[in-house]
Structure 1
Amino acid sequence: MNKRWLATCGFAAILTAAFFVTGSSAEPNVVTKIADGVWFREGDIKGQGHCNNTIIEMKDYLVVIDANFPSGARAVLADAKKLSPKPVKYVFITHHHGDHDYGSAVWTEAGATTFAYKGVAEELARYEPNRWQDTAKTRKDVGELNRTAPEMPKETFDKSPYILKDSTREIRFYHLGWAHTRGDGFAWLPKERILASGDAGVNGAFNYTADANIGNWPKVMEAALKLNPLHVMPGHGGPGGPEILKGQAAFMTDLVKAVSAEVKAGKKLEELVTMKNGSPTATSITLPAEVKNWVGGSLPTQVADAYREISQKQPNGAIPHK
């Protein structure tokens, strides 16, 4: 998720009461049934910075995709109790960003085990202590935990897929490569053909590229599409189908293509991006209408990140940054 954008958002909004619907559409704080025993909860990104969550029912317990911020974790936990009397046993963290991870301690205190691909733990150690401390100054739900860093996943895996299976359902957890972050994880339900994509696949203008491998991102989407998903549960934005992954790939492809052409033409970054107080505020780069769903106020920052990646010939996330 784009923390540069999140930093400008207010988090004083009161969480509205969740209610349950059946169908493919969703809205913030609403739980949508996707299949028997599988629910999608869209987070209130604008009001509280929350990510989306998927809740999956197993024979004796529930699995939740992403830990959310602490306030989001509490809201999801409350909704899970409305859905089923079964306990949340596992919480899978798709990546290290605060809106997907900082609620981990809430879940473990409730008795759940958090787990992730090993790259998530590595990125947490690399970036998140400082980011946590900065976030704690502006977010009450983070600050009140009185921690100096986010809680690490209780378990990690290094071989993909990692599988949870019982007599009722199978969930496969994949790492398909570096896209949004080095540790990007996906949760795949093969029988139901449901894919939870984290922020590697979002439905809207929510792409945060500071920790990304922008050029490799489309390849990760191609790998996810090979699973042949029918339903895609994005990290942000409403649920949909494989068009989310295709659009995400197209956006990154078009971004790299447009910026590469300018780099090849000898353009300097300041010719492409207008800066104000050290932050990109506007860009001369335009992208095709076909990817407008993913184009928003962060495009100048995405252009700057792509420019650095292309000109320095390494993933933008590998270039030293905070």
Structure 2
Amino acid sequence: MEREIVYQKNRVEIVRVTPHLYFRRGDMPARRQSNGAFLVSGEVVATVDATTMEAAEEMLQEAVEVFGHPLRYVFLTHGDGDHVAGLPVFLEQPLTIFCSHRLLGQVVPQGYDGPAAFMGIEGVQTLWLGGLEVELSTVPIAAHSPRDLLIRVVQDGCVVAGDTGVSLDHLYFHAADPVEWARLLREIDARGGSAILPGHGDIYPWSHWKEITDFIDLLVQAGNACLEGLSEEEVSALDDDRATQLAGGYLAGPGASAGTIRDTAGASAERELRMVIQALVRKRTGHTA
């Protein structure tokens, strides 16, 4: 589906998804900007994530230039640096910032008494932006991270997913439980919807949830195969080098699963499988990232 580009400047594109939802396509290779989004209802404008200091400054300008009104709300999908590095810019503005309650300790500076207000979300909460119903939901488990926040524009059936739903070569498991991540995605998929706006990648159809789930399942299967035959002591002692060795050895093999992972994730295949192996080790040993 070809969508209208309503703004193109500074290697950023703002794409109309619906009359209320716009995808902010960042340029990660050139400017280190992950994707974001704008939600618009009447005079109310909200944005998603603060990828860099430059991006945050640009979003303040884009709200007025593209949508005709100043920014009022910010949603943070999670706390990775490429999604919150620009937050100091927003802290100087009279904005309301929504994030998972688990993220507050990371993003609210100690002793902060500036003009911005923070709202920690726990569970599922409904917010009205003008006449637009927005559902905010935190994840009860460590999917991509335990601090993820999903933003659903109810009437449009669209979800701004951050890194919970990304391109298959950009899955990161540094704080994840891949088994629970896949389970969460099945639940999201079952609700039905129309589009996914990811932190990395492009606008995806709803069927992308199943594609991610199936690929994570395949990575988990491969990760368990890599750990098969190792003693408890060997699993507990497994470090980055050993996990990389196991992942590389598996992917160099002739199996169909190894080929699918290589073809799907490309240059990221070894990293993704290594991180899944490490996540499975954390799950077995009870350690956290």
Interval of TM-score (by shorter of Structure 1 and Structure 2): 0.7 to 0.9
1:183 aligned partner: 147
The RMSD of aligned alpha carbons is 3.5
> More displaced, 178-187 or 304-313?
304-313
Deviation string 1:270-320 (CA, Å, 9 cap, x unpaired) is: xx99949x977971334466666851433323323322332343599x535
2:214 counterpart residue number: 250
Quote how far apart the aligned CAs of 1:100 are. Answer: 0.8
Matched residue of 1:57: which SS?
A: strand
1:183-237 CA-to-partner distances (Å, cap 9, x unmatched) read: 1110001111111011011024112221222221101211221331201101111
Q: Residue 195 of structure 1: which of 159, 164, 189 is its match?
A: 159
Contact conserved, 1:281 with 1:300, CA < 8 A, in 2?
Answer: no
After superposition, what is the alpha-carbon deviation per residue over 1:60-112, rounded to whole angstroms, capped at 9, x for unaligned? 31111112111122223332222212221110001011111121121232332
Using the alignment, how far apart are the partners of 2:262 and 2:103 within structure 1? 30
Query: What is the SS of the residue equivalent to 2:91?
Result: helix
- SS of equivalent to 1:30: strand
Partner residue, 2:201: 237
Q: Find the aligned partners of 1:281 and 1:46 in 2 and give their Cα distance.
A: 29
State how far apart, in whole Å, the 2-side matches of 1:183 and 1:51 are: 17
Please identify the structure whose Cα radius of gyration is greater: 2
State the number of aligned residues: 271
Identity of aligned residues (%): 19
Q: Using a 3 Å threshold, how does the CA distance of structure 1 residues 182 and 294 change in structure 2: closer, same or farther?
A: farther
Q: Could you say which structure has the higher strand fraction?
A: 2
What is the DSSP-based 3-state SS (H/G/I as helix, E as strand, rest coil) of the residue aligned with 1:298? Answer: helix
Q: What code does the residue aligned with 1:174 have? A: S
**Which structure 1 residue ranges, 5 or more long, are not aligned?**
1-20, 130-146
Q: Higher RCO, 1 or 2 (CA under 8 Å, sep at least 6)?
A: 1
Counterpart secondary structure, 2:205: coil
Distance in 2 of aligned mates of 1:293 and 1:243: 19
Aligned counterparts, 1:1-322, within 5 A: 22=4, 29-122=12-105, 124=106, 154-166=117-129, 168-177=131-140, 178-266=142-230, 275=241, 283-286=248-251, 287=257, 295-314=265-284, 318-320=287-289
Q: How far apart, in 2, do the equivalents of 1:90 and 1:314 lie? A: 40
TM-score after normalising by structure 2: 0.80
Greater helix share, structure number: 2
Flag the 1:116–1:176 CA change in 2: closer, same or farther, 3 A.
same
In 2, Cα distance between the equivalents of 1:79 and 1:235? 19
Alignment partner of 1:31: what SS?
strand
TM-score for both structures, normalised by structure 1: 0.73
